[in-house]
Structure 1
Amino acid sequence: MDLGITKKYMIFNLVTNTTKDNRPFIRMTLTDTDGGSMNAIMFDSNKLSFEPARGQVVNVTGALQQYNGVTQLKVSDMVLLEGEDANEFLPKSDKDAKAMEDELKAVLQKHIKSSYFKSLCNAFYADKAAYTLFKKSSAAKSVHHAYIHGLLEHTLSMVKLSALICDFYGKENVNKELTVMGALFHDIGKIQEIDIDNSFEYTDEGKLLGHLLLGINMVDKYIESIPDFPKKARDLLIHLIASHHGLLEYGSPKRPKTKEAFILHYVDNIDARINSFNMAFERENVEEGGWSQYDRILERQFYNHGLIPEE
């Protein structure tokens, strides 16, 4: 049974298309002030009195329905609302930001022993503007950890996972401090690439340079402020940032050429993909035994199998 709904949302994502009989329609991700999100579809969108766009706050009328086992909102009408604060509608991490920040600092303190890497951490903390943005920023526009505090959440996971893997292989095989520092800074350029005050749209410098180059520039400035920072440590750390996407076609200026760079690349991929699953299940209300909608980035659907019974 369809469930009618009228509610204020922000248009977080928007894709326009046409049906086989040439009817215009839009697919949207709508977000509310509670941090929740909803997949939505509207047919004959050309009948609206305004041009729908990402970041607009709208009053939505429609009905919740099941489509291929997934809950979505079939929109019958939308009204543009002026004067609303779009920031209130941005998706947010369900984890406590202060707790994540404290844990990140504690993990870094535990694993980072070299004086020059400690100084690099302190230079980052001392950059109040950048550090404040880091704690608040999204880790992506839409693909993974695409919510307020998402970059902090993703970075904390990366640091912890990197340390675990390095401990498994041992210090005779990999440099844990280097890998952990790479995890800390691998996505730091996203605070300049993504505008969190504009519905996570890319900034001009983000479009022109991308977060890898922006991050390398940031880390280099911190290093320049630290006397006698080892050049080899600098080059290896910058390589981690430059190569963490793994492949040239994925935007890496260099492919991973050290064991630490391989670890960082695959840990980044794992954490991003697991979060993509979780975001899809939550956004689409995929229940146990159900499938998500088709993911255009990963080119597949996700199966929520639930827990396997224990004997």
Structure 2
Amino acid sequence: MAKDEYDLDDYIRTSHKDQDELVNEIFLTINEIKNPHLKNLLKAFFCDETFTDEFYNAPSAKIYHHNYLGGLLEHTVEVLMICKKTCEIFPEIDQDLLYTGAILHDIGKLKAYDYDLVTIDISSEGRLLDHLFISCDMVKEKIRDCKIEMPEDLQTQLLHIMLSHHGDVQNGWGSPVNPQTPEAVALHHADNLDAKVRGILQTKQSPKN
């Protein structure tokens, strides 16, 4: 390589983790879900090649945590794994609902960020609507467009845990409602734990290129 040339790969920040293993964890979880309404919703998303191409490669943030290509997939699976451990301790929790919320809670970030191989920025839609609202809107749109039969109460429960996953409104982290169900509380703490721990770890070790 000539002195004035450079390798773009040296500037591309990507996830440390094996993408195939992360994707496999999501599909294994979808296959294990017993609630047919939630299973069909997840299948509608993850059998959509356009959606998965974006989801597997998107960052999870601009600055704070998982702010690199593949970061959204990595963060989603880490939150999912924390939720699975939580359900071992609290078997009374609705596992299907919690796992569905964990997998879908940040899908709005696909529209909330503009990114390329080297830069990440918040989109106009992300600034004006925030990814929590966008995520819920994408779920409602998928239910409508794919004609997924889902009881109104179940849909409300799912949207609630997604809208409240940043914790109490007074925290100022973006949730429009406080977590009010065991599943909502569990998802909030799983998300917060993963974001905080990963954020600290990132300051010690940069993701591989």
Q: Tell me, yes or no, whether TM beats 0.5.
A: yes
> Which residue does the alignment assign to 1:253?
176
Quote the Cα distance in structure 1 between the aligned partners of 2:186 and 2:161: 10
**Greater radius of gyration (CA):** 1
TM-superposed CA distance for 1:7, in Å, is 9.6
Whether the aligned pair in 2 keeps the contact of 1:188 and 1:215 (CA below 8 Å) is yes
TM-superposed CA distance for 1:130, in Å, is 2.0
Matched, 1:100 2:100: no
Q: Normalized per residue, which structure has more helix?
A: 2
Runs of 5+ consecutive residues of structure 1 not aligned to the other structure: 1-5, 10-31, 35-88, 284-311
Quote the Cα distance in structure 2 between the aligned partners of 1:115 and 1:174: 18
Matched, 1:274 2:197: yes
Task: Give the one of 173, 187, 197 matched to 1:264.
Answer: 187
Matched, 1:129 2:50: yes
RMSD: 1.9
> Which residue does the alignment assign to 1:208?
128
Q: How do 1:297-308 residues align onto structure 2 when only pairs under 5 Å count? A: none
Letter in 1 for 2:183: E
> Which residue does the alignment assign to 1:219?
139
Q: Taking structure 1 as reference, are residues 118 and 281 closer, same or farther at Cα in structure 2, changes over 3 Å only? A: same
Runs of 5+ consecutive residues of structure 2 not aligned to the other structure: none
Partner of 1:94, secondary structure, is coil
Matched, 1:147 2:123: no
Q: Taking structure 1 as reference, are residues 115 and 208 closer, same or farther at Cα in structure 2, changes over 3 Å only? A: same
Identity %: 33
Q: Deviations over 1:259-281 (max 9, x none)?
A: 11000000001111111111000
Q: Deviations over 1:31-72 (max 9, x none)?
A: x734xxxxxxxxxxxxxxxxxxxxxxxxxxxxxxxxxxxxxx
Tell me how many residue pairs correspond in the alignment.
Answer: 199
Matched, 1:177 2:153: no
Q: Deviations over 1:196-226 (max 9, x none)?
A: 2271111111111110111011011122223
Q: How do 1:30-41 residues align onto structure 2 when only pairs under 5 Å count? A: 33-34=9-10
Q: Normalized per residue, which structure has more strand?
A: 1
Structure-2-length-normalised TM-score: 0.89
TM-superposed CA distance for 1:155, in Å, is 0.5
Quote the Cα distance in structure 2 between the aligned partners of 1:223 and 1:133: 20
Of structures 1 and 2, the one scoring higher in RCO (CA 8 A, sep 6+) is 2
Quote the Cα distance in structure 1 between the aligned partners of 2:16 and 2:185: 30
